[in-house]
């Protein structure tokens, strides 16, 4: 699979249920290869492997994923913490079998770079900041998708 990385989480650790006293490490990222299709990628493993893999690319990089395991995603649980994707599958990376290679998007395919800037939600499924300000009372307690642009950054 070749795609541009459109999102990435930080490395996290969890107690390993099989080896009491040790930890397993994980991080997730999302890749896109067309305006319509993108998929979440999950990787678990030893700290050295996960940190090295996470440090090897960033959002905006093009990656080639070789030999991932394809799994059916558990939509309710997984989509709380990852972008909702149009696929009912996710990719799982294995330290022993999978390989992730990075390359410049210009080298890989100039069609991939513009995909980085496309929203992952339906364009009709957003609220503007003006809508939220005007209708704040009626939206209280609801979860909303917001599409906004950063105008400035300062200290």
Per-residue pLDDT tens over the stretch 47-69: 999 999 999 999 988 899 999 99
Domains of the chain: 2-117 (2.40.50.140)
Q: 32-41, pLDDT tens digit by residue?
A: 998 889 999 9
* Residue of 149 and 97 predicted with greater confidence: 97
Q: How far apart are CA 55 and CA 50, in angstroms?
A: 8
Over 70: is that where the pLDDT of 25 sits?
yes
pTM of the model: 0.78
Q: How many residues does the chain have?
A: 155
Over 80: is that where the pLDDT of 80 sits?
no
Over 70: is that where the pLDDT of 114 sits?
yes
Quickly state the pLDDT bin for 118 (edges 50, 70, 90): confident
pLDDT at 105: 57
Over 80: is that where the pLDDT of 109 sits?
no
pLDDT at 106: 56
92-95: Cβ within 8 A, 24+ apart: 92/41, 92/42, 92/43, 92/44, 92/68, 93/41, 93/42, 93/43, 93/44, 93/53, 93/65, 93/68, 93/69, 94/45, 94/67, 94/68, 94/69, 95/45, 95/46, 95/49
């Amino acid at each position: 699979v070749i795609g541009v990385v459109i999102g990435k989480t930080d490395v996290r650790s969890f107690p390993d249920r099989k080896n009491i006293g040790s930890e397993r490490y994980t991080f997730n990222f999302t890749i896109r290869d067309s305006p319509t299709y993108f998929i979440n990628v999950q990787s678990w493993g030893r700290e050295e492997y996960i940190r090295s893999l996470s440090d090897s690319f960033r959002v905006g990089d093009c990656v080639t994923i070789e030999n991932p395991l394809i799994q059916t995603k558990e939509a309710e649980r997984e989509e709380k913490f990852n972008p909702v994707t149009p696929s009912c599958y996710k990719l799982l990376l294995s330290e022993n079998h999978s390989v992730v290679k990075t390359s410049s998007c210009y080298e890989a395919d100039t069609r991939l770079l513009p995909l980085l800037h496309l929203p992952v939600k339906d364009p009709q499924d957003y609220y503007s900041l003006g809508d939220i300000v005007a209708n704040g009372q009626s939206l209280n307690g609801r979860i909303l998708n917001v599409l906004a642009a950063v105008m400035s950054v300062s200290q």
